[in-house]
């Protein structure tokens, strides 16, 4: 199933179930100093969860552009080396603001996965927060998942918060079992294990608290639901692929790297494949960040963007001696501009910033190398 069809089925399903379809917000948080980049679908609804704002809907659904490369949720160093981590991804979510809570949230997710996506039930494994018996019982008694398949995990996996402060709560996650051949082989391998066997696809957060800077959890005026499912991960399953880098959303960029380097992705060793992954992920995050108005800088979110571009420049050297990264922007923009027209509007700006950054970095590298060599010869 193509990503386009998955997008449509997701929004249609929740719309049919009373959710207003809301557009993705910009990646740059509007008025939130606690965030570098939008890192989850719920960010644009923070004030609704906190009860500081009312809108003419109590249920919403979105496909949100997210970047996790700095701040509390930061996957930058892992990208390239796992089959599932990305700095830029699209998060599909449904939200309830003082409306439905745990039971409906779980039922919606289960129905979407098993009926709309037709995923086999026996491959789905839920986890709940350690002491959340209510969620455990919904999975077990209402949905009918055997108790032996429901895990209980700690804060690290099953308590979600957007930052050091703000709305948060226990969550239940749904994992997809990709089979023992993907696993680490440990007899303790189960959902939550860091290997590639159990792929976390959906996180359903039961918003209940507002975390204060002191760490205190103040109950929210009303409970809410915030769910997030990575579009790319669902594509991996529905397209029968091994990693996010093989799904349709990455195809054009990988092909472009192949053309520019003369190297065939499928024939490369792990180190070179990692370079393909880094380039194809980083071109997505940098183009989307630039299109939303972020510029490279020496601090804050601009510094995160600069780090992403420089990381791409370093990995580029594993594949070629020429500067191909800015050229990849064209393939990305072409393949995603129908969904995100802001990419096409900023095309020239994006390409020129990327070229300038890479050139500047190359000059710095040459200068740095000379200093290092001088130091070594003198010492
Ligand atoms: N906010 C939660 C997450 O990002 C669910 O959307 O995982």
* pLDDT per residue as tens digits for the range 33-70: 778 999 999 999 999 999 999 999 999 999 999 999 98
Q: How many Cβ atoms sit within 10 Å of the Cβ of residue 31?
A: 6
Averaged pLDDT, 131-148: 97
| Strand 124-129 relative to strand 151-153, pairing | parallel
Among 226, 229, 230, 234, residue to substitute to test ligand 1 (most atoms within 8 Å of Cβ) = 226
Q: How far is CA 370 from the centre of its chain?
A: 39
**pLDDT at res. 71:** 75
Residue 249's alpha-carbon distances to 167, 242, 284, 343, in angstroms, are: 32, 14, 10, 15
- Evaluate: CB of 41 within 6 angstroms of ligand 1: yes
**pLDDT at res. 35:** 86
Averaged pLDDT, 349-369: 90
- Evaluate: CB of 203 within 6 angstroms of ligand 1: yes
- Evaluate: CB of 93 within 6 angstroms of ligand 1: yes
What is the distance in A from the centroid of ligand 1 to the CA of 327? 33
* In the predicted structure, residue 310 carries a pLDDT above the cut 90: yes
What is the distance in A from the centroid of ligand 1 to the CA of 99? 18
* pLDDT per residue as tens digits for the range 311-357: 999 999 999 988 899 999 999 999 999 999 999 999 999 999 999 99
% pLDDT > 90, the chain: 86
- Evaluate: CB of 326 within 6 angstroms of ligand 1: no
**pLDDT at res. 109:** 98
Structure tokens at 74: 């930061």
* In the predicted structure, residue 75 carries a pLDDT above the cut 90: no
* In the predicted structure, residue 177 carries a pLDDT above the cut 90: yes
**pLDDT at res. 130:** 95
**pLDDT at res. 164:** 87
**pLDDT at res. 231:** 98
* pLDDT per residue as tens digits for the range 114-127: 999 999 999 999 99
* In the predicted structure, residue 366 carries a pLDDT above the cut 80: no
Please tell me the residue having the least CA distance from ligand 1 atom 1. Answer: 40
Residue 246's alpha-carbon distances to 190, 237, 243, 265, 376, in angstroms, are: 25, 11, 6, 10, 43
Report d(CA 354, CA 328) in Å as an integer.
10
Compute the CA torsion angle 86, 91, 97, 99 (nearest 10 deg): -120
What is the distance in A from the centroid of ligand 1 to the CA of 93? 8
**pLDDT at res. 53:** 92
What is the distance in A from the centroid of ligand 1 to the CA of 205? 7
Nearest-CA neighbor of 112 among 92, 97, 129? Answer: 92
**pLDDT at res. 31:** 78
Among 95, 160, 169, residue to substitute to test ligand 1 (most atoms within 8 Å of Cβ) = 160
* In the predicted structure, residue 162 carries a pLDDT above the cut 90: no
* pLDDT per residue as tens digits for the range 187-231: 889 999 988 899 999 999 999 999 999 999 999 999 999 999 999
Buried b (16+ CB within 10 A) or exposed e, 282-299: bbbbbbbbbbbebebeee
**pLDDT at res. 352:** 95
% pLDDT > 70, the chain: 100
pTM: 0.94
Cβ partners under 8 Å of residue 29, min gap 6:
35, 36, 37, 38, 43
* In the predicted structure, residue 245 carries a pLDDT above the cut 80: yes
């Amino acid at each position: 199933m193509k990503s386009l069809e998955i997008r449509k089925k997701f929004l249609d399903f929740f719309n049919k179930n009373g959710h207003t379809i809301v557009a993705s917000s910009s990646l740059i948080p509007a008025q939130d100093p606690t965030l570098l980049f939008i890192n989850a679908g719920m960010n644009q609804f923070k004030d609704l969860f906190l009860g500081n704002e009312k809108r003419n809907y109590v249920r919403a659904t979105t496909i949100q552009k997210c970047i996790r490369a700095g701040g509390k949720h930061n996957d930058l160093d892992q990208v390239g080396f796992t089959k599932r981590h990305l700095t830029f991804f699209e998060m599909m979510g449904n939200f309830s603001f003082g409306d439905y809570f745990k039971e409906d949230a779980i039922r919606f997710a289960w129905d979407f996965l098993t009926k709309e996506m037709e995923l086999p039930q026996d491959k789905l494994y839920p986890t709940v927060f350690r002491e959340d018996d209510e969620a455990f019982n919904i999975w077990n008694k209402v949905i009918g998942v055997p108790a032996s398949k429901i895990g209980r995990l700690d804060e690290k996996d099953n308590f979600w918060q957007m930052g050091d402060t703000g709305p948060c709560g226990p969550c239940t996650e749904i994992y997809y079992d990709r089979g023992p051949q993907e696993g680490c082989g440990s007899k303790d391998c189960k959902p939550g294990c860091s290997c590639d066997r159990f792929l976390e696809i959906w996180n359903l957060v039961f918003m209940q608290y507002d975390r204060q800077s002191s760490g205190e959890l103040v109950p929210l005026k009303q409970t809410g639901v915030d769910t997030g499912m990575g579009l790319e991960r669902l594509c991996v399953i529905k397209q029968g692929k091994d990693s996010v880098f093989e799904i349709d959303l990455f195809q054009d960029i990988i092909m472009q790297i192949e053309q520019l380097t003369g190297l065939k992705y499928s024939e490369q060793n792990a180190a070179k494949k990692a370079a393909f992954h880094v380039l194809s992920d980083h071109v997505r995050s940098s183009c989307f960040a630039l299109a939303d108005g972020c510029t490279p800088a020496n601090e804050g979110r601009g510094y995160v963007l600069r780090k992403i571009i420089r990381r791409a420049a370093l990995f580029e050297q594993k594949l070629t001696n020429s500067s191909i990264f800015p050229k990849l922007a064209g393939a990305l923009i072409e393949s995603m501009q129908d969904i995100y027209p802001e990419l096409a509007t900023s095309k020239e700006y994006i390409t020129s910033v990327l070229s300038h950054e890479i050139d500047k970095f190359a000059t710095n590298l040459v200068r740095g190398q000379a200093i290092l060599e001088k130091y070594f010869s003198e010492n």
